[in-house]
Chains A and B, each alone.
Chain A
């Protein structure tokens, strides 16, 4: 068992390192921060001084080694633009993003899963067809379209809700709805098919032939089995809590992590982009570890497979 955890951690570390390396190389190949930050009219000596200041004249492998040793000391560098530690810039944006993504996740789980399960239990009914239609609508409409349509209706026409900013709780309503619609659709559809698959299994017939009331067949025998595939999808959603709102934050001018990504990439603010990717990769990796743990709790077959490792 500890061996299994060690292997998982090693793999997680490797994943993060690969993301960091990739980001490092791509960022340095895709444009000169000095040009972008100082502008095209900057005097040549200022550009040279800037490059000297940030070590951009060194060969890329030397920069990379310097970067690695820096990270090992848990130093994530300083923003070229604001001269403040990059990691602080990132972390202070996280709460604003979570204020959108966590309520959205709750909506996705709270509406998507029950809707999908209900549809599966009433397969072929009017409600089932309604759920399928709405969920297709939900996950096919792009969030930038949905966001703008919601703004048009609720902010511009009805003037019930603000169209952007972060001043009151009301400001969060439209971004949260925009964020959750797609996930609700996907989860509803996925839960429905997971549940239909499970309901056709022989052990469900066994549970029924035992004389269990239908309610117990569903709650005690079908749902625990359907939960396994659903957890996979929920894991992706948990992993996207920090980085999953780039578009929506941009539409609604919400000062979260997503906005920071857009601004920092545009400015070639290397340290900030790298710190962002580190935090995002770490959140994905942690979500994956949680999914693995959840698998073990939900399905004893996976537990013993692991013990056999």
Chain B
């Protein structure tokens, strides 16, 4: 049973539509990966859902959490959901923490807000959370400022802060992009471990397919403000059907294969102000025909249970690789 249900979510900035009707359901405890190139609307989807976009953004459609509508809801209503029901962590942890407040205070602020903890109780819980996310000697470092932590530790603090409200869903918006490779793996491990312990659901927004395959049950691929393919991670990774998804996999260098040229997806992401007619991917797609250039394919249930928005999907019988774990990060 899904507790978050997004239907027909649209976003426009200054009259330019960047999100063209997103439909997404997330069940309790589920981990969903959201992948796609920069600017395809992965982050905007969730910023819109939580009302975090700047005032000039026009948001339409529906986002329901346990049946409660968030789009168009009053500010206090949305504020009650933020942090408490849905928490969010961001791409650049060092600048996502307020530089003039101690990290402990920033965590305790959430504890006071969502769990009514004050004084010593809040401090003890903040230390416990910092311990939980793997910050060494938390009891003494609780009084330090964000600039005294490394990027990876700042992200751990952000996660501790997100956990403070005991949310049902954590949106991790490219949580590892700004971190180096070993720290990336540690943060992903931490997120999986926390999810296993708390049973909270998670949306991992990433363009790192390896990260998504390691952490998520299900993945959705976005292109130019639409979901073009969505399926269980195993199915999607072993047999991608949309030419764009396939292109993303082909562009990954093989770690143990022969040396050879990478297969890039030709062309660039279309400007949202000048989207091509028909399927937005058609100009870059090898199998596009006249129909693709005139009509936009609707997402339909695929043979494997997932969703697919393509007139000419890649042949299903071609297995890309045997296991999703084999994909290098």
Contact = CB atoms under 8 A, between A and B. Distances in A.
Interface string B60-84: 0000000000000001100111111
A211 B81 CA distance: 7
A125 to B, nearest CB: 10
Contacts of B84: 211
A209 B100 contact: no
Interface stretch (A3-11, A270-278, A298-306): A298-306
B37 interface: no
B310 interface: no
Contact of B92 (A123, A202, A214): A202
B99 A300 contact: yes
A51 interface: no
Contact of B98 (A124, A206, A298): A206
Contacts of B81: 211
A154 to B, nearest CB: 41
A211 B97 contact: no
Given A210-B113, A211-B114, A301-B147, A205 B82 contact: no
Contact of B100 (A123, A202, A299): A299
A301 B146 CA distance: 9
B95 A203 contact: yes
Contacts, number: 80
B254 interface: no
Nearest to A207: B98
A160 B249 CA distance: 81
A253 to B, nearest CB: 46
B99 A299 contact: yes
A213 interface: yes
Given A211-B114, A212-B113, A304-B148, A206 B97 contact: yes
Interface of B: 47, 50, 52, 55, 75-76, 79-84, 87-88, 90, 92, 95-101, 109-110, 113-114, 145, 147-148, 158, 161, 165
Q: Which 9 A-B pairs have the closest CB atoms?
A: A211-B83, A211-B82, A209-B88, A300-B145, A203-B98, A210-B83, A202-B96, A202-B95, A206-B96
Given A123-B55, A221-B98, 17 more contacts: A124-B55, A202-B92, A202-B95, A202-B96, A206-B98, A209-B50, A209-B83, A209-B88, A210-B87, A210-B113, A210-B165, A212-B109, A220-B101, A225-B100, A300-B100, A300-B145, A301-B99
25 contacts: A123-B55, A203-B99, A205-B52, A206-B96, A206-B97, A208-B52, A210-B82, A210-B83, A210-B87, A210-B109, A210-B110, A210-B161, A210-B165, A211-B114, A212-B79, A213-B76, A214-B79, A220-B101, A221-B101, A299-B99, A300-B99, A300-B147, A301-B99, A304-B145, A304-B147
